Amino acid sequence: MQNFSYQQLFDFTKNILLKIGCSELHAQQGAEVLLSADMRGVDSHGVARLSGYVRLWEKGRINSNPNIRITHETPSTAVVDGDGGLGLVVAPYAMNVAIEKASKAGTGWVSVKNSNHYGIAGYHAMMALEHDMIGISLTNASPLVSPTFSKERLLGTNPISVAIPAKEEPPFVADMATTTAANGKLEILQRKGNPAPMGWVQDKEGKPTTSSNGVKDGGALLPLGGDREHGSHKGYALGSIVDIFSAVLSGANYGPWVPPFVAFLEPDPNPVGEGIGHFFGAMRVDAFRPADEFKSHMDNWIKRFRSAETTPGNDRVLIPGDPERELEAIRAKEGIPLLDPVVKDLTSLGEKFGIRML
């Protein structure tokens, strides 16, 4: 484990993105999105993924100089074609379209096709906050998840993020996979050789398992709920809604057709759409009630929940976004810890492009 400053990793990431042909603006934007994951503790979606993006570019599956554009629109909606670009730059473009629509029509809703992995969902949703808007960010992803009763993997971890501004209190920021546990958490158990709790994974026969290698061995992640008795049909429905809003609305690939993030797996030769899909929403708070009034009530909501009496052994009730914000403050001071294999991977990536990691 080694600690790096935000600036070190930001510069490194930006320089790599410039090397693969991104514009100055896109390299800057891409690095910012990627680093926001490391800062907020979603390590699986940060710089650890940089070499994965580069491998996709090497295979011609990411266009580093895309012509991102609106292909269809109404006063409150748009479809954005990402032109095969990095999701890290396509997503902020599309979220800005949603914000602009909202500033005129009250709300803006953008479905995106022909994109790639967009980093953490929360970054894009949070773009709305400074405009006194509620931000929503959804994306589909490579199929790793089996619907309730299905042996096959048909959905991605399809996250939902919703960011809601408050006044004195920090904002409410939910950012969650629609599975019981995110794949990143499973990988940590795998690395340590620890078992996974029941309800996270099923094996390749479709039977529940505690093996943290279950997904690697041909099994699947389970939808939030874990099994039918505990509401997995609800997690499955949520993941499906994310898939449909992101891809069936826009014309991207959906369900099992979503192209894999890893470069060694080939996309389906008979796609049902273009690239992967995202969905963004922005709602102007004052399209409903005065922003100041709303934000005061959000403060009241947050204070009441945060001060709730706790269950035995727990000392406080968290508000969605609390853990990530607290980690961000720590990492701003102490730097971002990277695991040795990640440092090694980035170092060799740097060598390839003549960029020093340190």
* Sole window of 36-44, 82-90, 306-314, 329-337 interacting with its own copies (rule: CB under 8 A): 306-314
Q: Which amino acid, one-letter code, is at 55? A: R
Closest C-alpha to 278, from 179, 175, 173, 136: 136
- Beta-strand pair 77-81/107-115: parallel
Does 270 engage in binding with its own copies (CB under 8 A)?
A: no
* Sole window of 2-10, 34-42, 58-66, 230-238 interacting with its own copies (rule: CB under 8 A): 230-238
CA atoms within 13 A on the CB side of 273: 28
Pairwise CA distance, residues 338 & 244, whole Å: 35
* Sole window of 10-18, 119-127, 309-317, 333-341 interacting with its own copies (rule: CB under 8 A): 309-317
Pairwise CA distance, residues 182 & 162, whole Å: 17
Does 312 engage in binding with its own copies (CB under 8 A)?
A: yes
Among 230, 267, 291, 327, binds its own copies (CB under 8 A): 230
Does 23 engage in binding with its own copies (CB under 8 A)?
A: no
Pairwise CA distance, residues 211 & 70, whole Å: 45
Nearer to its own copies, 14 or 284 (CB): 284
* Sole window of 10-18, 46-54, 210-218, 239-247 interacting with its own copies (rule: CB under 8 A): 239-247
Does 298 engage in binding with its own copies (CB under 8 A)?
A: yes
Q: Sketch the per residue contact string, 91 through 130, with its own copies: x for CB under 8 A, - otherwise.
A: -------------xxxx-x-x-------------------
Say how many C-beta atoms besides its own lie within 10 A of residue 23's C-beta.
Answer: 14
DSSP characters over 157-218: ---EEEEE--SSSPPEEEEE-SBSS-HHHHHHHHHHTPPPPTTSEE-TTS-EE--TTTTTTT
Which two tokens mark 174? Answer: 């939910």
Q: Sketch the per residue contact string, 40 through 69, with its own copies: x for CB under 8 A, - otherwise.
A: ------------------------------
In the region spanning residues 147 to 186, those forming contacts with its own copies, defined by CB under 8 A, are 147-152, 154, 160, 162, 164, 172, 174, 176, 178-181
* Sole window of 14-22, 24-32, 238-246, 262-270 interacting with its own copies (rule: CB under 8 A): 238-246
3-state secondary structure of 321: coil
Report DSSP state, residue 156.
-
Does 303 engage in binding with its own copies (CB under 8 A)?
A: no
Nearer to its own copies, 38 or 243 (CB): 243
Among 85, 119, 135, 255, binds its own copies (CB under 8 A): 255
Nearer to its own copies, 21 or 197 (CB): 197
Q: Which amino acid, one-letter code, is at 25? A: L
Does 21 engage in binding with its own copies (CB under 8 A)?
A: no
Query: Do 73 and 94 contact (CB within 8 A), yes or no?
Result: no
Nearer to its own copies, 50 or 110 (CB): 110
- Residues in contact with its own copies, counted by CB under 8 A, come to a total of 88
Task: Please state the φ and ψ torsions of residue 139, each to the nearest 5 degrees.
Answer: -150, 150
Distance, C-alpha 159 to centroid of its chain: 6
Nearer to its own copies, 131 or 233 (CB): 233
DSSP characters over 39-51: HTT-GGGTGGGHH
Residue with tokens 């008979």: 270
Strand-pairing partners, residue 336, are: 4
* Sole window of 4-12, 32-40, 296-304, 324-332 interacting with its own copies (rule: CB under 8 A): 296-304
